[in-house]
Amino acid sequence: MITLLSHPILFLKSKLSDRNFLAVSAGLVGLTSGFAAIVLKYGVHQIGHLVASSQASDQFYVFAVFPLLGIALTVFFIRYFLNGQLKKGSAEIVYSIVKKSSFLPAKDTFAHVVTSALTVGFGGSLGLESPMVSTGSAIGSNYGRVNQLTYRDRTVLLGCGAAAGIAAAFNSPIAGVLFAVEVLIADATAAAFIPLIIAAACGALVSKIILAEGVTLAFALKQPFNYHNVPFYAILGILCGLTSLCYAKVFHAIEARFEKVSNKWAKVIIGGLLLFGLITLFPPLFGEGYEGVRMLESKDASQLAAGSIINHLVHSELTLLLFVGGLIFFKIMAAAITIGSGGNGGSFAPSLVVGSYLGFLFARLVNYLGWAQLPVSNMTLVAMAGILSGVFYAPLTAIFLIAEITGGYNLIIPLMIVSALSLSVTHLFQPMSLEGKKLARLLNSTFETRDKLLLSRLNLAELVEKNFSVISPDARLTDLVKTISASQRNIFPVVDTGLRLVGLIHMDKVRRIMFETEKYETTYVKDLMDKPDAIVELNENLHEVFAKFDRTNRWNLPVVENGIYLGFLSKSSMLTRYRKEILES
Q: What is the total count of domains within the chain?
A: 3
- Checking if the pLDDT of 294 tops 90, the result is no
* CATH classification at residue 548: 3.10.580.10
219 belongs to a structural domain:
no
Instruction: Give the residues across from 569 on adjacent strands.
Output: 557
141 and 258 in one domain? no
pLDDT given at position 445? 59
The burial of 341, by beta-carbon neighbours within 10 Å (0-12 exposed, 13-18 middle, 19 or more buried), is given as buried
Taking alpha carbons only, the member of 377, 29, 409, 426 closest to residue 202 is: 29
Between CA 343 and CA 270 the distance in angstroms is 12
97 belongs to a structural domain:
yes
pLDDT tier at 61, thresholds 50, 70, 90? low
Whether 195 contacts 22, CB under 8 Å: yes
pLDDT given at position 440? 76
444 belongs to a structural domain:
no
Cβ of 182: how many Cβ atoms within 10 Å?
18
pLDDT given at position 438? 85
Between CA 114 and CA 108 the distance in angstroms is 10
Whether 105 contacts 162, CB under 8 Å: no
Instruction: Give the residues across from 471 on adjacent strands.
Output: 494
**Element spanning 496, H or E:** none
pLDDT given at position 226? 87
167 and 84 in one domain? yes
187 and 42 in one domain? yes
320 belongs to a structural domain:
yes
The contacts of residue 164 (CB under 8 Å, 6+ apart) are 29, 30, 31, 32, 33, 34, 37, 136, 176, 199, 200, 202, 203
Q: Mean pLDDT over all residues of the chain? A: 86
Between CA 508 and CA 530 the distance in angstroms is 12
427 and 312 in one domain? yes
DSSP 190-243: GGGHHHHHHHHHHHHHHHHHHSPTTTS------S---GGGHHHHHHHHHHHHHH
* CATH classification at residue 205: 1.10.3080.10
Backbone φ and ψ for 186, nearest 5 degrees, come out as -65, -25
Averaged pLDDT, 78-97? 88
Q: Point out the domain boundary residue: 147, 178, 210.
A: 210
Maximum average pLDDT range among 456-460, 485-489, 509-513, 575-579: 485-489
489 and 553 in one domain? yes
pLDDT given at position 215? 59
Between CA 37 and CA 565 the distance in angstroms is 51
315 and 429 in one domain? yes
192 and 244 in one domain? no
The contacts of residue 531 (CB under 8 Å, 6+ apart) are 503, 504
Averaged pLDDT, 550-579? 86
pLDDT given at position 352? 94
pLDDT tier at 523, thresholds 50, 70, 90? confident
pLDDT given at position 54? 59
Tell me the CA distances in angstroms from 495 to 199, 469, 506, 560, one per residue in order.
Answer: 57, 10, 14, 11
Q: For residue 516, how many C-alpha atoms fall within 13 Å in the half-sphere facing its CB?
A: 9
pLDDT tier at 53, thresholds 50, 70, 90? low
43 and 108 in one domain? yes
450 belongs to a structural domain:
no
Q: For residue 489, how many C-alpha atoms fall within 13 Å in the half-sphere facing its CB?
A: 19
Tell me the CA distances in angstroms from 121 to 50, 116, 126, one per residue in order.
Answer: 9, 8, 10
216 belongs to a structural domain:
no
- Checking if the pLDDT of 334 tops 90, the result is yes
pLDDT tier at 461, thresholds 50, 70, 90? confident
Which of 53-57, 198-202, 324-328 has the weakest average pLDDT? 53-57
Whether 103 contacts 145, CB under 8 Å: yes
369 and 475 in one domain? no
User: By percentage, how much of the chain surpasses pLDDT 70?
Assistant: 91
Between CA 96 and CA 90 the distance in angstroms is 10
Between CA 351 and CA 582 the distance in angstroms is 35
DSSP 380-436: HHHHHHHHHHHHHS-HHHHHHHHHHHTTSSTTHHHHHHHHHHHHHHHHHH-SS-HHH
90 and 135 in one domain? yes
The amino acid at 121: G
Q: Point out the domain boundary residue: 210, 243, 264.
A: 210
The burial of 242, by beta-carbon neighbours within 10 Å (0-12 exposed, 13-18 middle, 19 or more buried), is given as middle
Strands 501-506 and 556-561: unpaired
447 belongs to a structural domain:
no
Give first-to-last CA distance, the chain, whole Å: 29
Taking alpha carbons only, the member of 252, 272, 253, 274 closest to residue 264 is: 272
Which of 21-30, 515-524, 560-569 has the weakest average pLDDT? 515-524
424 and 553 in one domain? no
The beta strands (E) that lie in 496-563 are given as: 501-506, 536-537, 556-561
Between CA 440 and CA 434 the distance in angstroms is 10
Burial pattern 319-338, b for ≥16 Cβ within 10 A else e, equals: ebbebbebbbbbbbbbbbbb
DSSP at 476: B
pLDDT tier at 57, thresholds 50, 70, 90? very low
Q: For 121-150, what is the HEC assignment?
A: HCCCCCECHHHHHHHHHHHHHHHHHHCCCC
Decide which of 213 and 19 is more confident: 19
How does pLDDT run across 237-263, given as a tens digit for each residue? 999 999 999 999 999 999 999 999 989
Q: What's the CA angle centered on 258, arms 252 and 261, to 5 degrees?
A: 150
Averaged pLDDT, 111-134? 92
How does pLDDT run across 344-402, given as a tens digit for each residue? 998 899 999 999 999 999 999 999 999 989 999 999 999 999 999 999 999 999 999 99
Q: Point out the domain boundary residue: 439, 473, 496.
A: 439
Cβ of 298: how many Cβ atoms within 10 Å?
11
Burial pattern 256-284, b for ≥16 Cβ within 10 A else e, equals: eebeebeeeeebbebbbebbbebbbbbbb
449 belongs to a structural domain:
no
CA dihedral of 581, 583, 584, 585, whole degrees rounded to 10? 80
Instruction: Give the residues across from 251 on adjacent strands.
Output: none
pLDDT tier at 195, thresholds 50, 70, 90? very high
Between CA 344 and CA 323 the distance in angstroms is 27
How does pLDDT run across 404-433, given as a tens digit for each residue? 888 778 899 999 999 999 999 999 998 888
469 and 433 in one domain? no
Quote the pTM value.
0.79
pLDDT given at position 584? 59
Sheet holding 564-570, edge to edge: 536-537, 556-561, 564-570
- Checking if the pLDDT of 111 tops 90, the result is yes
Whether 124 contacts 67, CB under 8 Å: yes
Tell me how long the chain is: 585
Find the domain containing 81 and state its range. 6-210
